[in-house]
Amino acid sequence: MSGPVISLGGSIFSKTDEKYLLEFIKRIKKENEYALVVGGGPIARDEISRLRKIGAKEYYLDMMGIQATRLNATMVSLALGNLMEVPRSIDEAVRQMKLYKRVIMGGTEPGHTTDAVTLLLAEALNKDTVVNVTNVDFLYDRDPRLKDANKIERISYSSAIKMITAEKRGAGENFPLDILSLNIARRSSIRIKLVSFKDTSNVFNAINGKKFKGTLVV
């Protein structure tokens, strides 16, 4: 496979950002090969929130989130004209990639975000780069909604891990990166390019190895 493995954040599936999803699908359709891991987005968060209110355990909330990611992956696959089943494991995804030169998948198991799945798939495919397409343009040193937040253009794995160590994250919570993903990236020296889906040209600059605006984790 040529090119990186792409993590398509679930936030792009919101109704307000539908145009960006359609732009992405239109552009990726032109590629001969691609490996996409799709997030759960609003569907996952809404259903997880509903289940949490009735006391469901985090394990089962994760399972609900995984189903949402696979629903979104199925939608993207159909939009791209693929008639393949959405893989439920990394091994299935690798086999599909070898056969068809393309794969679209969601989550795999509780405790693993789709970002972590993306890094594991990159490892299995021997790729050195992942492009994380999300709802923020950079990684920031604090909440980007704060006026004194500073964008980070380049950061090491260890520094990024230290930055988010204090974050307590439950099922369905959204954050540009997570510790498991960063540890997988670090052990296999996989670069992570973080870009906003709101600039499709910039997204594909990152995918195609050109200069891009965003954060590079190395």
Q: Which pLDDT score, from 0 to 100, does residue 172 have?
A: 41
What count of residues does the chain have?
218
User: Percentage of the chain surpassing pLDDT 90?
Assistant: 82
Helix, strand or coil, per DSSP, at residue 6: strand
* Per-residue pLDDT at 163: 83
Fold of the CATH domain 5-217: Carbamate kinase (3.40.1160)
Percent of the chain at pLDDT exceeding 70: 95
Distance CA 209, CA 120 (A): 21
Distance between CA 171 and CA 157 in Å, rounded? 23
The pair of structure tokens assigned to 34 is 């691609």
164 pLDDT above the threshold of 90? no
* Lookup result for tokens 């498991």: 180
Query: What pLDDT does residue 173 have?
Result: 46
C-alpha–C-alpha distance, residues 10 and 41, integer Å = 4
> Which helix (H) or strand (E) element contains residue 69?
helix 58-79
- Pairwise CA distance, residues 168 & 207, whole Å: 30
What's the average model confidence in pLDDT over 92-115?
95
Q: For the chain, what are the domain ranges?
A: 5-217
What does DSSP assign to residue 209?
T
Strand partners, 102: 34
Model pLDDT, residue 175: 58
The pLDDT of residue 147 is 83
DSSP, collapsed to helix, strand or coil, labels residue 180 as helix
Which residue shows structure tokens 């994380």? 132
Cα dist from 71 to 36, 74, 85, 215, whole Å: 14, 5, 11, 29
Decide if pLDDT at 40 tops 80. Answer: yes
Q: At 166, is the pLDDT very low, low, confident or very high (cuts 50, 70, 90)?
A: low
pLDDT digits (tens, 9 = 90+) for 50-96: 999 999 999 999 999 999 999 999 999 999 998 788 999 999 999 99
Give the Cα separation of 113 and 123 in Å (integer): 16
Give me the mean pLDDT over the 155-169 stretch. 78
* C-alpha–C-alpha distance, residues 177 and 186, integer Å: 13
pLDDT at 187 over 80: yes
The three-state DSSP-derived secondary structure of 37-57 is: EECCHHHHHHHHHHHHHCCCC
Q: Mean of the per-residue pLDDT values for the chain?
A: 92
Q: What is residue 142's predicted lDDT score, i.e. its pLDDT?
A: 77
